[in-house]
């Protein structure tokens, strides 16, 4: 076993011995089931948001009996999963029919998709570190900038200081242990969670596979999460750390993936009507693969900074505006080493009337590699009774080319990067009908259409990435979903 795994297991043992068994954690005040923050970057009631949103709570995770995050996400409407094997195998998540790199993934407000590939490695993230998931369907370019053509999925890491421990075992040599403890006083809060999972697995391919090897292809994972917060006379401080170390075997090879996500946030207010948050985040990714006859080593990191404001405008109006900045670097061993930065200015305004809710927003992004991009969003809802609501929206989004698409030297002259690539662009229209009853449950039906232009495809000379002219991809769909609510 690797030294860092041994060190992590020592910490995990300390956690388990100092904790007691507890069935479920209580949700923190900031993560109420009926309040969401991802659709507009402002806290708002779930039934008042103008987007199609699903919330998965810690209680939902426990009731699902899912073994990993992929099993949990596949149950959500509008979410499609492609998995290349068992635990630890490469997994892609598609939202509303868009590409896997058209989904913006956030962990505690920090962008976590790889700067090299533009996609997130969902197979790395363990359920024991997750407190809550918010899934927002539809474009959010006017709020978050690049990558949100299909929508946004934000994961909030586990935060309860209540002690707990859990040990499980199963077929294919499966063993898993997780535990946590914490501390809470009048103004401060700390929680530490850790986990270990090992699966001996089975052969990733059968005898018809091109690289078949009859040995078992297993998966080993170690994780550590730390969350802390404290209230001062001037505001509140919040610290988050998530460290993952996974080893996945496949026929004829093995991959070692490591990821560290950390952030520091300060929340305060200028006045009773003006609140603000300042967030600094950092992610470091490393993926090493040994195929027997050759090896790869990809590394990337990204520094995030955001300053966001919420200002009440009268009794029924709310203005949100702010600044985002990130610098990302990526490299491949003996191949390329590049970086770029992005600055975004955004603003949105919500206005409530007696039965009408209007929202308009816009964002301007300036990237050091592919220039300036503007995105916008317009949405409206009409409550024609206490239970029924009709809403519609129209918005644009984009995806900037990832570093590999721009700078990879390719393989023998094929699949080489193109530094002159422009972003992919999209427009989406949506119409939704919603019904909600206090005790019976909820129902919604949504019809939408998405058009993507300038889709990046490896169809140039020697399979070099290039822009497909004109409308490159269209998708439309009718989706219905319902949710039961227990009686009082």
Q: What are phi and psi of 239, to 5 degrees?
A: -125, 135
User: Could you tell me the CATH number of the domain that includes residue 306?
Assistant: 2.40.170.20
**DSSP H/E element including 478:** strand 471-483
Distance CA 16, CA 251 (A): 35
166, 195 in Cβ contact below 8 A? no
Burial 172-208 (b: 16+ CB within 10 A, else e): eebebbbbbbbeeeeeebbbbbbbbbbbebbbbbeee
The tokens describing 236, both together, are 């509140």
When mean pLDDT is compared across 259-263, 386-390, 453-457, the lowest value belongs to 453-457
Q: What pLDDT, on the 0 to 100 scale, is given for residue 138? A: 93
More confident residue, 4 or 134: 134
Q: What is the pLDDT of residues 422-452, one digit of tens each?
A: 999 999 999 999 998 777 778 889 999 999 9
Report the SS3 class of residue 304.
Answer: strand
More confident residue, 486 or 345: 345
Q: Is the pLDDT of residue 61 over 50?
A: yes
Q: What are phi and psi of 25, to 5 degrees?
A: -90, 145
More confident residue, 200 or 14: 200
The residues that bridge with 238 in the sheet, in sequence order, are 229, 265
Q: Give the global pTM.
A: 0.88
DSSP category for residue 469 = P
Q: What pLDDT, on the 0 to 100 scale, is given for residue 11? A: 45
When mean pLDDT is compared across 220-234, 348-362, 405-419, 473-487, the lowest value belongs to 473-487
Q: What is the pLDDT of residues 19-45, one digit of tens each?
A: 333 333 333 445 566 889 999 998 888
Domain count within the chain: 1
The tokens describing 462, both together, are 């020697």
Q: What pLDDT, on the 0 to 100 scale, is given for residue 472? A: 52
- Listing DSSP states for 157-222 in one string gives E------EEEEEEETTTEEEEEEEEEEE-SSEEEEEEEEEEEEEEE-SS-TTSTT---S-EEEEEE
Which residues are CB-contacts of 32 (< 8 A; sequence separation ≥ 6)?
none
Model confidence band, residue 2 (pLDDT cutoffs 50, 70, 90): low
Distance CA 360, CA 379 (A): 6
- Listing DSSP states for 4-44 in one string gives HHHHHHHHHHHHHHT----S-PPPPGGG-TTEE-TTTSS-E
Report the SS3 class of residue 464.
Answer: coil
Burial (0-12, 13-18, 19+ Cβ within 10 Å), 436: middle
When mean pLDDT is compared across 6-10, 265-269, 320-324, the lowest value belongs to 6-10
Distance CA 289, CA 116 (A): 15
Instruction: Please identify which residue in the block is written with the tokens 């191949």.
Output: 335
Distance CA 469, CA 383 (A): 41
Q: What is the pLDDT of residues 394-404, one digit of tens each?
A: 999 999 999 88
Report the SS3 class of residue 398.
Answer: strand
140, 39 in Cβ contact below 8 A? yes
Q: Which domain holds residue 224?
A: 1-488
Q: What pLDDT, on the 0 to 100 scale, is given for residue 21? A: 35
More confident residue, 409 or 448: 448
Q: In this prediction, what percent of the chain has a pLDDT beyond 70?
A: 88
- Mark out the alpha helices in 74-188 (DSSP H runs): 141-144
What is the SS3 assignment for 193-211? EEEEEEEEEECCCCCCCCC
Q: What is the pLDDT of residues 169-199, one digit of tens each?
A: 888 888 999 999 999 988 999 999 999 999 9
Pairing of strands 103-107, 151-157: parallel
Burial (0-12, 13-18, 19+ Cβ within 10 Å), 414: exposed
More confident residue, 39 or 334: 39
Pairing of strands 35-36, 236-250: unpaired
* Interval 298-319 mean pLDDT: 92
**DSSP H/E element including 59:** helix 58-64
Sequence-ordered strand ranges (E) for 214-370: 217-231, 236-250, 253-271, 274-290, 295-313, 317-332, 336-352, 356-367
Which residues are CB-contacts of 352 (< 8 A; sequence separation ≥ 6)?
316, 317
């Amino acid at each position: 076993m690797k030294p860092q795994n041994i060190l992590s297991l020592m910490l995990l043992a300390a956690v388990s011995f100092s904790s007691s068994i507890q069935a479920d954690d209580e949700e923190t005040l900031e993560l109420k089931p009926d309040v969401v923050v991802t659709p507009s970057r402002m806290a708002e009631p779930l039934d008042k948001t103008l987007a199609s949103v699903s919330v998965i709570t810690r209680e939902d995770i426990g009731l699902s009996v899912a073994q990993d995050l992929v099993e949990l996400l596949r149950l959500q409407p509008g979410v499609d999963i492609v998995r290349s094997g068992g635990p630890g195998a490469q997994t892609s998540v598609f939202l509303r029919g868009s590409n896997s790199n058209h989904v913006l993934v956030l962990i505690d407000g920090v962008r976590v998709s790889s700067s090299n590939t533009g996609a997130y490695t969902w197979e790395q993230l363990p359920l024991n570190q997750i407190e809550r998931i918010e899934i927002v369907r539809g474009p959010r370019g006017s709020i978050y900038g690049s990558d949100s053509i299909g929508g946004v999925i934000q994961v909030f890491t586990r935060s309860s200081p209540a002690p707990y421990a859990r040990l499980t075992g199963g077929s294919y040599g499966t063993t898993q242990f997780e535990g946590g403890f914490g501390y809470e006083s009048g103004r401060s809060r700390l929680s530490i969670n850790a986990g270990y999972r090992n699966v001996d697995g089975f052969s990733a391919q059968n005898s018809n596979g091109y690289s078949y090897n009859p040995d078992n292809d297993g998966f080993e994972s170690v994780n550590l999460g730390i969350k802390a917060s404290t209230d001062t006379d001037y505001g509140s401080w919040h610290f988050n750390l998530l460290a993952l170390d996974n080893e996945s075997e496949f026929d004829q090879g093995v991959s070692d993936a490591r990821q560290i996500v950390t952030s520091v946030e300060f929340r305060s207010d200028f006045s009773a009507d003006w609140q603000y948050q300042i967030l600094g985040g950092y992610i470091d990714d490393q993926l090493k693969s040994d195929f027997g006859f050759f090896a790869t080593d990809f590394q990337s990191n990204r520094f995030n900074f955001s300053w966001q404001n919420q200002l009440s405008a009268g009794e029924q109006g709310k203005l949100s505006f702010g600044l985002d900045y990130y610098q990302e670097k990526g490299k491949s061993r003996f191949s390329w080493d590049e970086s770029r930065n992005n600055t975004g200015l955004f603003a949105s305004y919500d206005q409530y009337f007696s039965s009408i809710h209007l929202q308009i927003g816009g964002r301007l992004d300036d990237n050091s590699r592919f220039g300036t991009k503007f995105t916008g969003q317009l949405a409206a809802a009409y409550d024609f009774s206490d239970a029924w609501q009709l809403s519609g929206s129209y918005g644009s989004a984009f995806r900037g080319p990832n570093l590999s698409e721009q700078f990879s030297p390719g393989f023998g002259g094929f699949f080489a990067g193109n530094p002159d690539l422009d972003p992919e662009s999209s427009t989406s229209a949506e119409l939704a009908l919603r019904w909600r009853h206090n005790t019976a449950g909820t129902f919604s039906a949504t019809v939408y259409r998405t058009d993507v232009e300038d889709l990046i495809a490896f169809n140039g000379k020697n399979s070099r990435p290039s822009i497909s002219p004109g409308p490159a991809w269209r998708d439309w769909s009718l989706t219905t979903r319902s949710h039961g609510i227990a009686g009082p």
